[in-house]
């Protein structure tokens, strides 16, 4: 082991940032000064050691996990320079996201400027998508940092450790799930095990408005910024505590993460008749953007609904994901065929948890099923969920169906598993078992998941996936719901609890919903 004091300084040595002495050229050391915002841009410095390659390609992502369209984060990079000591090296821009550095042996430094993707979050323009994956730097000293916007990587270097230092005004707090290793009020230091982990941790720099919740074994941070100056975090945290406690109970009392962050940016819209919002989930955090008239209860409602979905992502894809996600290619991503599970199962758990934990009635649950059944009809019934998952970037007009048909597929799967196991096993048990089998550091093979689930549950469940997930057979929603004593009227537009349900139907309904 060796301590790199030349860059970190004595304070970092004392904190024990142990680095591999055999791979000095295989680590990134980034520095950013938030005090020097010029022309709405930040300057980034990357220091390197021991580079011996004759040629290197430096990249920014085309897209990142959780979004399904090309953003091309390299478009925000200007004034790119590579240095070997005082000598400037030849650089060729290969594409919007990539630069080739020639004569790279001896490369010691890369410098560039970064523009932001948006200012105060407001009504998105017609060509603006996925703003929650972009960054914002404003003169009022609020910084929404998505690290994929500020920091790049070398081709082949996605797994190298990344050190990032932010110099900042002392009164700004860095809200993130990535541990802060600095003890200095004017500097924050983060060490990610690799570039993937860095990208997975957005940061909100703002004057502190924070609250902490202890949810079982997990510490949850709620960090807010609003341009009204009002403090929101305590109120939001109080509002979502019961939700998170019930989600923990639903997932088996122990959560698979030790920390989680909700980062909330609220800009005020003078119009009372419109509001906009979006969120991007990460493995241990969610970044929420919201624009509306100043109504704290409206924000609470928005955050509650967002949290109820995003928090369940700690199961999938954090702990249950394929190799396509575990080794995500930021330039040319290969989509997993299991988006139906990552989003559909998460959406179904959001619906099912409320009725299972007694937070909502069976009627309210069936109202949600009705809505999804009706909305599902707007999408291409001839496109299978696995094909939609693989083609999510190309099929943007069909993408939302993973939240509709995907959730209803998972509902049918839950009913089937409950029926066959006589109430002992359902989708929440399945997801817990898959998380125990794989976990965040072990990916499953994309083509093998259905066989794995069949081997863990019932062999005949493989046909269910063949028919309704890989195939395009119409979902047997009416048949499955009637098995559980649900009357289906008007083609699914009117669902109600049957007053003449048989004892067998009532039993299945109780196994499935936790109530008759």
Distance CA 328, CA 90 (A): 29
Lowest mean pLDDT among 17-21, 141-145, 512-516: 17-21
Between 200 and 40, whose confidence is greater? Answer: 200
Give the tens place of pLDDT for each residue, 340-368. Answer: 999 999 999 999 999 999 999 999 999 99
Distance CA 325, CA 429 (A): 23
> For position 25, what pLDDT does the model report?
56
Average pLDDT over residues 269-278: 78
**DSSP type of residue 345:** I
User: Residue 116: pLDDT band by 50, 70, 90 thresholds?
Assistant: very high
Instruction: Quote the mean pLDDT of the chain.
Output: 90
In sequence order, the β-bridge partners of residue 377 are none
Q: Where are the alpha helices (DSSP H) in 99-189?
A: 147-150
- CA angle 508-464-494, nearest 5°? 55
Backbone angles phi, psi at 331, to 5 degrees: -95, -45
Judged against a pLDDT cut of 80, whether residue 148 lies above it is answered with: yes
How much of the chain, in percent, has pLDDT values that exceed 90? 75
Residue 468: both structure tokens together:
């309704």
- Count, residues in the chain: 516
Average pLDDT over residues 458-485: 97
Distance CA 400, CA 410 (A): 15
Give the tens place of pLDDT for each residue, 184-223. Answer: 999 999 999 999 999 999 999 999 999 999 999 999 999 9
CA distances from 79 to 45, 169, 488, 515 (A): 12, 25, 62, 62
- Work out the number of other CB atoms within 10 angstroms of the CB of residue 228: 12
Give the tens place of pLDDT for each residue, 387-431. Answer: 999 999 899 899 999 999 999 999 999 999 999 999 999 999 999
> For position 383, what pLDDT does the model report?
98
Judged against a pLDDT cut of 50, whether residue 20 lies above it is answered with: no
Residue 280: both structure tokens together:
């991007």
Torsion 417-418-419-422 (CA) sign: positive
Domains of the chain in sequence order: 22-125+145-201 (2.60.40.3650), 210-310 (no CATH), 323-513 (1.10.390.10)
- Work out the number of other CB atoms within 10 angstroms of the CB of residue 352: 25
Between 293 and 94, whose confidence is greater? Answer: 94
Instruction: State the DSSP H helix or E strand holding residue 30, giving kind and residue range, or none if neither.
Output: strand 28-33
Of the candidates 489, 469, 466, the residue with the CA atom closest to the CA atom of residue 373: 489
> For position 45, what pLDDT does the model report?
98
CA distances from 178 to 3, 210, 348 (A): 21, 16, 29
Give the tens place of pLDDT for each residue, 297-321. Answer: 877 888 888 888 889 998 899 899 9
Judged against a pLDDT cut of 60, whether residue 126 lies above it is answered with: no
């Amino acid at each position: 082991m060796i301590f790199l004091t030349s860059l970190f300084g004595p304070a970092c040595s004392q904190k024990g940032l142990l680095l591999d002495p055999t791979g000095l050229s295989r680590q990134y050391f980034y520095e950013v000064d938030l005090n020097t915002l010029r022309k709405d841009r930040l300057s980034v410095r990357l220091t390197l050691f021991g580079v011996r390659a004759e040629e290197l390609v430096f990249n920014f992502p085309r897209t990142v996990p959780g979004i399904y369209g090309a953003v091309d984060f390299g478009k925000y990079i200007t004034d790119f320079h590579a240095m070997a000591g005082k000598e400037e090296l030849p650089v060729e821009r290969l594409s919007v996201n990539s630069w080739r550095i020639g004569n790279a042996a001896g490369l010691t430094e890369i410098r560039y400027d970064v523009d932001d993707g948006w200012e105060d979050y407001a009504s998105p323009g017609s060509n603006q998508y996925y703003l929650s994956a972009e960054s914002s730097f404003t003169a009022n000293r609020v910084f929404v940092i998505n690290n994929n916007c500020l920091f790049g990587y070398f081709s082949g270097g996605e797994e190298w450790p990344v050190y990032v230092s932010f110099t900042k005004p002392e009164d700004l707090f860095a809200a993130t799930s990535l541990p802060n290793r600095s003890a200095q009020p004017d500097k924050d230091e983060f060490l990610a095990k690799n570039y993937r982990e860095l990208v997975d941790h957005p940061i909100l720099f703002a004057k502190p408005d924070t609250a902490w919740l202890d949810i079982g074994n997990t510490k949850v941070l709620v960090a807010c910024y609003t341009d009204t100056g009002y403090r929101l975090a305590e109120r939001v945290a109080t509002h979502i505590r019961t939700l998170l406690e019930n989600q923990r109970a639903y997932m088996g009392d122990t959560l698979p993460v030790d920390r989680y962050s909700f980062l909330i940016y609220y800009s005020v819209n003078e119009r009372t008749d419109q509001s906009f919002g979006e969120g991007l989930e990460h493995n241990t955090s969610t970044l929420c953007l919201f624009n509306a008239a100043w109504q704290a209860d409206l924000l609470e409602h928005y955050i509650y609904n967002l949290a109820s979905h995003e928090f369940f992502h700690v199961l999938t894809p954090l702990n249950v994901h394929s190799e396509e996600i575990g080794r995500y290619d930021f330039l040319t991503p290969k989509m997993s065929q299991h988006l139906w599970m990552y989003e559909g199962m998460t959406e179904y758990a959001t619906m099912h948890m409320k009725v299972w934990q007694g937070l909502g009635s069976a009627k309210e649950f069936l109202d949600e099923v009705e809505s999804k059944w009706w909305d599902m009809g707007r999408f291409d019934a001839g496109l299978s969920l696995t094909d939609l998952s693989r083609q999510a970037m190309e099929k943007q007009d069909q993408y939302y169906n993973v939240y509709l048909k995907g959730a209803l597929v998972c509902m049918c799967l839950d009913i089937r598993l409950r029926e066959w196991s006589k109430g002992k096993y359902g989708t929440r048990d399945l997801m817990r078992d898959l998380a125990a089998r794989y976990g965040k550091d072990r990916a499953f093979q994309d083509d093998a998941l259905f066989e794995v689930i069949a081997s863990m549950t019932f062999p005949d469940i493989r046909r269910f996936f063949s028919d309704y997930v890989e195939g395009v057979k119409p979902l047997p929603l009416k048949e499955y719901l009637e098995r559980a004593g649900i009357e289906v009227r008007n083609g699914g537009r009117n669902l109600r609890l049957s007053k003449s349900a048989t004892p067998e139907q009532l039993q299945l309904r109780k196994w499935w919903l936790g109530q008759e």
